Structures are given as C-alpha cells and as structure tokens.
Structure 1
Amino acid sequence: MKFSEITSEDWVDLQPYLDTCLLPYTALTGQESPYETVSVLERLRDFLDYVEIPFKGRIVTYPAVHYSQASQLQQLNELCSHLKAGGFKYVIVMTADEALVQAELPEADLVLSLSALSSRKDKDELSHVNVNEFKKDIQSQIYQMWI
C-alpha cells in the first residue's frame, strides 16, 4: 500500500495492521543521464514489487530517498528512527543499485539490496530461476523480521 492511499481517518484503524514501512532508496548521484536515471528507477520499481505485491496489507511504501551524499547513511538511519517513532514497528530499506548491508543501517530492521543479493550477476540479466530464488529469500527474511 502506498502512503498516499491512506487517509487520516483510515490510519487510526489501519495502523495496527500496517506496522511495516518500506523505504525505497535509489542512491542517485546526480551524474546519471536522463536515460540512466530511468533505468535506475525502473530497477528499483521492479525490485520493490518483490515486497509490495506479496505483503500488500501489511506494508506501507513511503516516498523514495533519491540522492546519495556523503552523509546519506546517517540520514537514512535517522529517517528509520523517525518512522519508528511515528508509529511503524518495522522499517525495511530497499535499494536496487547501492550495495547496502544491514550493519550500515542499524536503525533499519531489514536492508534489502539487489546489488548485494546479485553480486554474481548483472542486475539487468537475472535469470527467471534466480529471480524466484531472490523473491523466496526476501520473503523469508521479512517473515523472520516479524517473528
């Protein structure tokens, strides 16, 4: 569910069920051409589907953090902390092109990085079998986070 689909009246009733925030991170540098930017955003969109579709009704997708800066990890950490203070029990950070690991974002409950998961293969050339394996692995990690 997207953040923009929730009204203030709905939030009171839905908050106990929508306990997990999904925070997309594109990690753009500003040096990408327009067509490269589109490619980055499409990869992230497709990667977000791994979580948004199977967990609709439990996860709220927030606006993406787009640009990477030297202090970005600290800002992402603070944002995760703020989202939890605002009522989310769990925060998942997802990125397609940045090789983030959990240790870099201790305030996030889960960090999912397509670059880290697919380090053996080109991001644009994942086989159907590998994609299904990634999806299962991601779903398993989310279930483990909720336990």
Structure 2
Amino acid sequence: MKSLESLDLSMNQLSGSIPESISALSSLSHLNLSYSNLSGPIPSGNQLQTFEDTSIYEGNPELCGPPIEKKCRGDEPSQTPAHAVSKDDDEGDDLEMSWFYIGMASGFFVGTLGVFSVLWFKKSWRYAYFQYAEDINDGFHVLKRKEIEE
C-alpha cells in the first residue's frame, strides 16, 4: 500500500474524517476525495501538503484546514492574532463603557443631591459649611497678603 501512486475516492458515499495514515503514502502523486461527504480537519502530513489543487476536496462541506480556506473550529483562535478584536467584542466593550458612564453620572448626581439636600434641610450644617468655606477663603487671603508683603 505504501507504493500506491494514485487514489481516487471521489463521488462515493464515504463519511467521517480522512485517516492520518493517508499522509504516510509517500509515493502518492494523484489524490481525489471530491464529493465524498468527508468531514473534519485535513491531515497535515507531508504528502498531503504537496497537493496544491484544492478541487480534490470539493463537495465535502464539512472538511476544514489547510490547504482549503475553511478554518477548523480549534484553529480559529490560534490563527487570529492576540491583539485582533472582533466586531462583536468591540460592540460589547462600547456597551460596557456606556453602562460605566451611566453609573458614574448617576452616582455623581445622587451624591451631589445628597449634599445639597442636607445643606438645605439642616440649618446647623449649612451654617457650619459656609463658615468653613469662609475660613478657607480668609486663609487664602492671609497667605496672599503675606506673599505681597515679603
């Protein structure tokens, strides 16, 4: 079997994956597996990689991997660069950032409303707050006067 030079299994009702052992057929110069209902990844042996004509795999919609363009499920993450971001991920990030800003704005609004509500309804706190603000303002004026005098 190792000296097999031509193998044509086209238009058969074969199913399943291509056996890895087929890549060990070193004398194989012609192969045709088209329209055979095969599935799974194409074995990556040395002999199978020499066949540049992808038509030998036609009619097998479930076949994947090199040399055909259809990627296998397990190969997709390794084929994609680590820094590449898909459109769905980008949209998810935008939605996440929107919720972040909505949360931050509502937190700022509730906090500010809380402070002003307390100052509005608690007269003693309101007086204490404005007295504190005046003391800080007076402190700046004192420092400014000292700088001018020196």
More helix per residue: 2
User: Which structure has the larger Rg?
Assistant: 2
Structure with more strand by fraction: 1
Normalised to the residue count of structure 1, the TM-score between the two structures is 0.21
TM-score (norm 2): 0.21
